[in-house]
Structure 1
Amino acid sequence: MFPLSIFPHRSYKVEGHKYRELHPLFLDEDNTRVLSPIIDLFQKALKEKWRQNEVEQRLKRFKKQLPGRKYPAIKRTLKDFFTFQEISLFDFVPERTTRELQKKGLTTLFELELYLYQVINEQYNGYLPLEKRDDFLKKKSLEFDFSSQKKLEEALSLALEKNYRIMLTSDELPTSAIITQQYHFHILETILMNSTRLVLEKKEKTGAFIKNAIYLCKKYLLDFNIYLYQESLQKSNKLIKIEETTEQFAAAKKVTLKIEGPKEVGGSPRDYSWHLKKFLLDLLGRYQEMETEIHLKIHQKKCFYKLGKKDLTIIKKSIGFLKKEGKVDIDSKIEAQFLRFFGTNSAGWKAKAESSAFIFQDTKEKQQIIIPDFELYRGPEELFFLEIIGYYRESYIQKKIEKLNALREITNQKMILLINSSIADRFSSLEDYYPIFIYDGKKPIPIEKIVRYLEQNVGSFKERLENCSNKNNLEKFDKLLEKTAQKKGILTNDDLLQFFTLYSLQELEEVFSHPEIRQIIRLHQFIYYSSIGLISKKMIDKIHKQISSTVQEGPCSITVIKKKISSEKQILDQLVNIITTFDDIEVTWETLIPLVRKK
């Protein structure tokens, strides 16, 4: 990163207001052409083992070709690839001198200097008069078997930085493209590290931009607000499905995304600016036509920088943008854990990531958007939302509380909050309005408690069971089996759960224990397989006949049998379980692939 003072900025007035505009020092083509001879110079310096003073003197000839503050900026960038190290004492002195130094336990220049200072302190009370200096150094050069007093003085001068020897910090010499890329990375890092806010504005084709901007802000853990400018959206607060947002948001005349910078959010500014840089490169890769303005503080004075088309071209050419097709649904470890563990619940609840968006007015009557992390649903009517709150910046917490307070005023939708234990007490004011559950890194996510809450706040299974066996549903089930028997001959477990509005196989088995429902199944000659669903006896007989003829002459692998049977995929996947119900055919496991044969 560069010191912020390296960037020039100019002040001007507009209608009595004073503005300070920053001018980053991006490298143009003329500047980048200078890098090749600079690399040649450093390559020669490495080969001939130049010292720092010599390298810096020869580098100055490029100063005119890198005008203004670009020259010190390039020098700073070169430090990422080249360094200067103290020359080893033993590389400088002959072997006999090395032996004498080692007798005193001296192996480095620092230890040699320290030893001489100790002698001066003991013999001269810490101060060596100038007239005695030559005599002192002459004695010590003889003591350590230096060839001359001058050789000892040269050895001591090696500790000065100007005499450090050039070294390469990586395995390969950098190219001009790599140096240019690193230079522009430093520019972005410097600007973003000192930023107070990013303001991104998109005026056309705003639908996809809103979804991607929110997703990326959440992915990179940024503090943000997004504002819509469109009359129809300002008339009422709404909940809309994510798949509808592109069309809904596309009608907005303008979208403004405001992201707080490291100077405002506190915490670790380096980490936050790294996330901010990744976010900006990612979003620029998708929407290069958006307007980008960065607000900064220079010596406590407000300043701004507008990312122009020329700057974008340079960044794109030297750094490149992060461009990814599509998007993943899960953007944090805790969200991925929740989805994985919640999917194991036996009550039939399912979770869908970021599937709905709330549009609402904040306290300043500006349109904002919040997308809950998960939609928890079971059937068409049982719907809850869950928001995971695990990021602990002070500004983030305050904005989240403000948004949730504004949200509860305009919607009856049920929202569950899953909050990190380290910040849970900050959300205590919301306990009367939102169910709050706590998680931390040491304990598992309280899935059972969340499912218990969901079950307590929806209709009971007893009510749904009574509804399954009423006269109207029994007639519908009778017609469904009659129609199925005439066509494909199978109703999968998913089909049955959907028909009866059930949410688990346990509930389905309990429904099938009802006498009238069992009677309808027998009447239409269906057989229930717990791993598949209901299959007509006619289809089972057809499968039995096909398998019997296939194994008539001898055992046959299950793979071959599946190819010879034309049936639904669900049946083929569970064919072994079906065969085990036959009296005259069996499955053996004598080989890696199951064999089917006559008993």
Structure 2
Amino acid sequence: MTYGRSNLRLKFRKGYAVPLYLDHSKDRSLIEAVIDFYEMNVGKPYGSIKWEDLRVIIGDDKLYHGLRKSMNYFYKPAEPRASIANPKLLRLRIFQLVNVDYGGFIPSEKRNEFLRSIERRLGIHNIDEVLWIDELGERPLIKVKKPTPIDVAEIYNFETIDTICTNSSELAVEIRALPSVLSSIAKVIGRYSKVYGLLYDIKSRYNNLRAVIEGPRSLFGRPTKYGLRLSLMLEKLLPLLYSETIHRWSIWSKTHFKRTTISIKIMSDDYRPELRVPENIKRPQPAFDSSIEERIFRALKSIGLSIVKDVEPIALGDLLYIPDMKIEVDGKSYYVEVAGYWRKEYAEKKAYKLHEITKLLNNFIVIADEKLKPYLKRLKVPVIYYVLMSGKPIVPYIKILKILRR
């Protein structure tokens, strides 16, 4: 979960905005004060903590909400202790007994006597604790790990980017570099877009590359957890972007708010936030099982085909396409796309993209999950369908050989 678009801190420039990140050096005193607040409250019932004091310390409502979300990675309410009784059912049973024995109200002087009688009747000790053991406000605040100022800055900045991505309709990566570097970037985008189930287009001209990745607002019309996949894609790109081989780059989003859409310059070569993905974040399941592609690759290789996986991007006009595999037969190249099962929204748009690519690329074979037949039946290139049995793709390889030899 993000900290909410209404809590994004943005600085507006002419025609766009930039997010305000935390810097562990510039904001050290503030971050240390926040850490001290949490340290002083470790062990206290969560509901008794004076959160308004933290709001005063921070002095900015948007930053307050963002930091509270970020600090959950380091401090959180303890999990409910195991109990011999279900607290909700126990409360219901006691309310029933109060209604029967006291007409719905126990005088304060008889409360302890009543609870002790319930303990004897139900065989439960310390019933006061058991009754509310599942209530958030009663759980003590525990420390998962004491953070440093840079830990807090990095996690807050990641939450900021994730909030932007979750509310975006597209993410654009713009890079100026040598062609060999652009090729490496394109491969990373292509590979992880497939793993995370992202739709993208890459265009390259001269020494410039622009990759546009669709966001949840475009695919689903609303913010969804799909946005986390965009954030994790950026995680994979950052080592390349922050390296010395790329001198000019920027990442932009079209981010939707209640009444407007804002172009946000998320980061660039001259605006690099301290950033780290939380270790305990719940990562999404891969949209594509890479073991399927690996099995198909090994099977094709085992029958004697000259096949490679690390394929250079193919220029189709200004468009770059990154195939999964390339097969060489009698001096001719065939490009292979392996399509696992896709969600409906993704399948419709991906099928359209493949249709556009195959207008320009004839030596193309699609190997697809049979569940995709409704979406791929109009393609003008061969589509070979496989069936999954016990997680393994059963592919009619003889059909592929016939295509290659005709």
1:438 and 2:385 correspond: yes
Shift of 1:3: 1.8
1:168 and 2:124 correspond: no
Q: 1:392 aligns with which of 332, 342, 359?
A: 342
Give the aligned partner of residue 251 of structure 2: 292
Q: 2:75 aligns with which of 69, 82, 88?
A: 82
Give the aligned partner of residue 219 of structure 2: 265
Task: Note if contact 2:183-2:312 (Cα within 8 Å) is conserved in structure 1.
Answer: no
Shift of 1:295: 1.1
Task: Note if contact 1:265-1:393 (Cα within 8 Å) is conserved in structure 2.
Answer: no
- Structure 1 residues 144 and 122: CA distance shift in structure 2, 3 A: closer
Give the aligned partner of residue 178 of structure 1: 151
Task: Note if contact 2:16-2:265 (Cα within 8 Å) is conserved in structure 1.
Answer: no
Work out the CA distance in 2 between the residues paired with 1:440 and 1:449. Answer: 14
Shift of 1:85: 4.6
Task: Note if contact 2:250-2:269 (Cα within 8 Å) is conserved in structure 1.
Answer: no
Q: 1:315 aligns with which of 266, 271, 274?
A: 274
* 3-state SS in 2 of match to 1:50: coil
Shift of 1:161: 5.5
Q: 2:290 aligns with which of 329, 332, 339?
A: 332
* 3-state SS in 2 of match to 1:314: coil
Aligned length: 380
Q: 1:341 aligns with which of 275, 280, 299?
A: 299
Worse-matched range after superposition: 442-451 or 156-165: 156-165
- Structure 1 residues 189 and 180: CA distance shift in structure 2, 3 A: same
Task: Note if contact 2:314-2:320 (Cα within 8 Å) is conserved in structure 1.
Answer: yes
Larger RCO (CA under 8 A, 6+ residues apart):
2
Amino acid at match of 1:301: T
Identity %: 17
Q: Residues 457-491 of structure 1: CA distance to partner in whole angstroms, max 9, x if unpaired?
A: 1xxxxxxxxxxxxxxxxxxxxxxxxxxxxxxxxxx
Work out the CA distance in 2 between the residues paired with 1:50 and 1:401. Answer: 55
Amino acid at match of 1:377: E
Shift of 1:108: 7.3
Work out the CA distance in 1 between the residues paired with 2:322 and 2:178. Answer: 20
Task: Note if contact 1:27-1:180 (Cα within 8 Å) is conserved in structure 2.
Answer: yes
CA RMSD of aligned residues (A): 4.0
Shift of 1:71: 1.9
Q: 1:69 aligns with which of 58, 62, 68?
A: 62
Work out the CA distance in 2 between the residues paired with 1:202 and 1:260. Answer: 18
TM-score by length of 2: 0.76
Alignment of 1:443-522 (within 5 A): 443-455=393-405, 457=406
Q: Residues 377-408 of structure 1: CA distance to partner in whole angstroms, max 9, x if unpaired?
A: 234x3432222222524454444444444444
- Structure 1 residues 52 and 388: CA distance shift in structure 2, 3 A: closer
* 3-state SS in 1 of match to 2:274: helix
Task: Note if contact 1:375-1:384 (Cα within 8 Å) is conserved in structure 2.
Answer: yes
Shift of 1:115: 3.8
* 3-state SS in 1 of match to 2:32: helix
- Structure 1 residues 88 and 332: CA distance shift in structure 2, 3 A: closer
Q: 1:377 aligns with which of 310, 328, 336?
A: 328
- Structure 1 residues 393 and 114: CA distance shift in structure 2, 3 A: closer
Q: Which has the higher helix share?
A: 1
Work out the CA distance in 2 between the residues paired with 1:447 and 1:291. Answer: 44
Give the aligned partner of residue 3 of structure 1: 4
1:189 and 2:162 correspond: yes
Give the aligned partner of residue 50 of structure 1: 44
- Structure 1 residues 285 and 137: CA distance shift in structure 2, 3 A: same
Structure 2, unaligned runs of 5 or more:
121-125, 243-247, 279-288
* 3-state SS in 1 of match to 2:273: helix
* 3-state SS in 2 of match to 1:290: strand
Work out the CA distance in 2 between the residues paired with 1:71 and 1:283. Answer: 29
Work out the CA distance in 1 between the residues paired with 2:356 and 2:137. Answer: 65
Task: Note if contact 2:326-2:335 (Cα within 8 Å) is conserved in structure 1.
Answer: yes
Task: Note if contact 2:67-2:156 (Cα within 8 Å) is conserved in structure 1.
Answer: yes
- Structure 1 residues 134 and 37: CA distance shift in structure 2, 3 A: same
TM-score by length of 1: 0.54
Max Rg structure: 1
Structure 1, unaligned runs of 5 or more:
91-105, 147-151, 230-251, 321-330, 362-366, 458-599
Work out the CA distance in 1 between the residues paired with 2:115 and 2:308. Answer: 79
